[in-house]
Amino acid sequence: MTAVLFPGQGSQTKDMRADVERLRPDLLELAHSELGTDPFERIGEGTHFAQPAIYCASLAGWSLVDPGDASCMAGHSLGEFSALAAAGVLTEVDGLRLVALRGRLMHEAEVGGGMMAVGTPVDVAAELAGRFGLHVANDNAPEQVVLTGDGDAIDRAVDQAKAEGLRATRLRVSGAFHSPAMGAAAAELGAALDEVELGEPSVPVYCCVTTEPYGDVRRLLVEGLTSPVRWRETVLAMQSAGETRFLEVGPGKVLAGLVRRIIDGADATSLKEAARA
């Protein structure tokens, strides 16, 4: 049995539109209808196009997997919507509409923010964040942490981290994602979620806000806008529950690589890596 992983933003690849067109042309048509444009052709313009495109590409990848092989699922940020759709909690149509709304709301809240990656354990990164009024956005893997907050503070924190001998890089985003700055989007996303009918999951879907299988789906998806993505802890929670094999079904291979960093010797791969083997 396999823990199936769904990626978030940053996992896009050049060939993913072709994969969606080949595997799930209905999703490509649905995305165009929902957005009024082809999100794959405009993915470089911002998160409002990147998120729907990656959602569609992830579900296209999922179509290659026997659902009976999945013992649980987890998604990284945006990927939680893909995981919940794959598990039958959300319909694919509702999932796409929510992702399109989430992407638009996050894009509108981008002004003045920023994010940085720092190569240090999460406790050290949190201390650095505290000095500059920043927040931990992603605890991705040992010594791979992302901080978020005011753009000018991000620049100062990057300089300070480098002065202290740490690997630090400002990321190419203009929003303070997974921070209180995204709070303005919460009410509208919550209202949209209230209108959506939820189903029972076919397998447990782990939540990166709590590192446990989802409870209150609506509340936790809204909290995910402003809460850190606790990916490292979520992977360890799945391992503690007995998961020994991990498969990333998105367009890239980011999550599979993170799992191998989190669990020494992990049996973790992506569809892309498996296709090349």
Q: Which residue has the tokens 């957005």?
A: 35
Using alpha carbons, select from 186, 200, 11 the residue that is nearest to residue 87.
Answer: 200
Element (H, E) at 113: strand 113-118
Token pair in block for residue 33: 């209808």
What are 120-128's contacts with CB under 8 Å, separation 24+?
Answer: 120/145, 120/161, 120/166, 120/167, 121/145, 122/232, 124/166, 128/157, 128/160, 128/161, 128/166
Q: Mark whether 178 is an active-site residue.
A: yes
- Which of 11, 48, 76, 77 is flagged as catalytic? 77
- Which of 107, 178, 179, 227 is flagged as catalytic? 178
Quote the CA–CA distance of 163 and 157 in Å, as a whole number. Answer: 10
Rg of the Cα atoms in the chain: 18
Using alpha carbons, select from 9, 69, 83 the residue that is nearest to residue 252.
Answer: 9
Within 8 A by CB and 6+ apart from 207, the residues are 80, 213, 214, 215, 220, 224, 234
Q: Mark whether 77 is an active-site residue.
A: yes
Quote the CA–CA distance of 114 and 49 in Å, as a whole number. Answer: 19
Within 8 A by CB and 6+ apart from 85, the residues are 55, 59, 91, 92, 94, 95
**Residues designated catalytic:** 77, 178
